[in-house]
Structure 1
C-alpha cells in the first residue's frame, strides 16, 4: 500500500521504493549505495517505528542508538546472518544463501495477544541494563523503564522450500525447524528442506529520555507503542528483500567469520551514514504529535 498504514524505518540499499517488483531488475544492480557495513549488501531491512505515548495522550518518535561497535552510526539496526547460533562464534555449518528476488516477512502487525505472537518464534524484547545486556527476553514490551533502552529482536525462519522466492503472504515459503531451533541444529521439515542463514535484527530504541515515571500513564502501565498502534508489543514484525551483489553472501556463508569477514568488502561508518533517500513522508513524524503518523479511523489496523 502506498501510503503504508503505518510508519516504517528502512535500512540498506538506496534502491528501496514503495513498489519493488522483482521483474524490474536486481536491486543489487540498481542501488548506488548502502547503509550497511558490508558494501556489497544492497538488501533492504525494515521494521515498524517505536513511539512514546505521554500521559497527556501525545506521541513522540523514539530515536535509535547504534549498537556496540557502531558508535557514530545514524541509529539503524544490527543485522546478523548466521550459519550457527549467535553464541557459536566459529560459525562452521553449511547454509545456502538467499537468491536474487528473494523476500520474506516475519511477525503479524495486527497481533495483540501472546498466543498470536507465539506463532513466530523468537520475536522478542530485551530491557537493556547496559549495551551488552541480552537476557532475559520477553514477547511483550518491558513493563519498567530500561536504563539503556529497549532492544527489539527479530529472528526469521531458517528453512526454505527451495522453490519460491516469495509467497502471497510473504511467509509460507519459509518454515521453522521441525524440532528444536536453528541454534540447536534442529532439522528442516521435508516441505522446506533448504537451510538458509539465520537472519536476525537487533534495533536499540533509545528510550532513556522517556524513562521518567511522571510522564508515564497514571496507572503506571508501560507507555511505548508501535507505529501501527500496538501497545502490547506482540505486533512486532520485520521485512526483508535480498540484495547482496553476485555471490558475496554465499562466499561469506562458506567462511567461518564472526563480525569481520575477510571475503567481503567493507565501508566506513561515515560512508554508511552518507547513503540516504529523501523522505517519502508527507506529514510530521517528529516533535510531539496528536496522533500516530498515518493513523486515521479509516486506516486503523484490525485488532
Structure 2
C-alpha cells in the first residue's frame, strides 16, 4: 500500500502530519458561521466532527461535545461543506451519496478525509507550527463566486477509482467519472496572531500555497503565525447517475446552493480539539495513521465514530427525487 509505505518512510521527521477520517455527523440546513442562529440556513451542508454542532456555536467546542465522528477522540472540531445533487433532465434533484476514502478504515459512514499538514504531502518540514486556538473558526471559498478566484485549494477530481488524485479541476468534470467525483478544500495556513475570527471569516488568515499539498511560501508580516495546513477531501458516489448524463454533454451535478459550475465551492471549520492535543500532535514526529493509539493522540473505532450523531433541527425531505433543491424553491430552473 503506497499510503502505508509513505507513512513508514516519513516516520522519522521532526514534525507531524495528520490524515484521518470523520464519518457524517449530520446532513441538514444549518450554517453557524455564515448564518448563525438561522434555522434553516439557505442551503444543505454535510457536517462531520463533534456532536455539539448547532445553529449557534460559540466558545470552546470541546467543552460542549460528548462524542466525535472523527478518528481522533480528542478532536471535537466541526468541518462542513455544501452537499452535491444530481439534476435530472426532467428538472428533479437527488442527493449524491457520500463514500469513504480508500485510504481509510472500512465502514466509515460517508464523511470526509481531513488533513493537518505542515509542509507538503511528502514531508513534514522543520518549522514551528502553532495549533489553532479555542474559539477559532474560518471559511474558504464562497457560494457567491461565479468565476475562478485563483485559489488552487478549491478543486474537483474526476475519479477513475478512489485512489485518483489528479488532475485537479477548478470546476465540475465535463464527462461521467468512472469512480465518482472528489471535492477538495484547502484552507490558508497563515494567521494574524490576534483574531479567532473575522467578519468575512477569512481576513484573519492568509494563503501562501500555490498548489495543493505543495510547500507554502513564507507567511507575511500581516499574518506571521504559521498554522497547520487544513484540507478536506470529500468523495461523492456519482456513478449511479452516469447512465443519466444529459445527451448534450452538459454537467448534471449541482452543489446545494444551485451552483452547476463549481466556482462557488466552499468549506467551513470550527476548532474543537481538547486541551493541547493538536499542539502535541504538531510537535510530535508521527505521520498519518502512526499518530493513533496514544502516539500521541487517542483514537477510536469506526463503530464509535459512526455512533456519534446530531439530531436535525430542520424537518424536510433530503432523500429521494425532489422537485427543487432544499431552500432553493425559486431556483428550480437553474
Shift in alpha-carbon separation, 1:178–1:9, aligned structure 2, 3 A = closer
Deviations 1:41-65 (A, max 9, x none): 0000000000000111110000100
Deviations 1:99-154 (A, max 9, x none): 0000000001111222xx32x33100111111111110000001111111101000
1:98 matched to 2:127? The reply is no
Corresponding residue number in structure 2 for 1:14: 51
1:180-259, aligned counterparts within 5 Å?
183-212=214-243, 215-259=244-288
Contact 2:176 2:245 in 1 (8 A): no
Cα distance in 2 for partners of 1:21, 1:188 equals 28
Q: TM-score, normalised by structure 2?
A: 0.83
Cα distance in 2 for partners of 1:207, 1:179 equals 29
Deviations 1:156-180 (A, max 9, x none): 0010000000000100000012988
The match for 2:113 among 75, 78, 81 is 78
Report SS of the residue matched to 1:183: coil
Corresponding residue number in structure 2 for 1:278: 311
The match for 2:68 among 29, 34, 42 is 34
Runs of at least 5 residues in structure 2 that lack an aligned partner in the other structure:
1-34
What is the aligned residue count? 290
Cα distance in 1 for partners of 2:210, 2:264 equals 25
Contact 2:152 2:212 in 1 (8 A): no
Contact 2:209 2:216 in 1 (8 A): no
Shift in alpha-carbon separation, 1:130–1:112, aligned structure 2, 3 A = same
Report SS of the residue matched to 2:281: helix
Contact 1:6 1:295 in 2 (8 A): yes
Shift in alpha-carbon separation, 1:31–1:234, aligned structure 2, 3 A = same
Q: TM-score, normalised by structure 1?
A: 0.92
1:53-72, aligned counterparts within 5 Å?
53-68=87-102, 69-72=104-107
Corresponding residue number in structure 1 for 2:23: none
Cα RMSD (Å) of the superposition? 1.7
Contact 1:92 1:256 in 2 (8 A): no
Cα distance in 2 for partners of 1:6, 1:97 equals 30
The match for 2:302 among 254, 269, 279 is 269
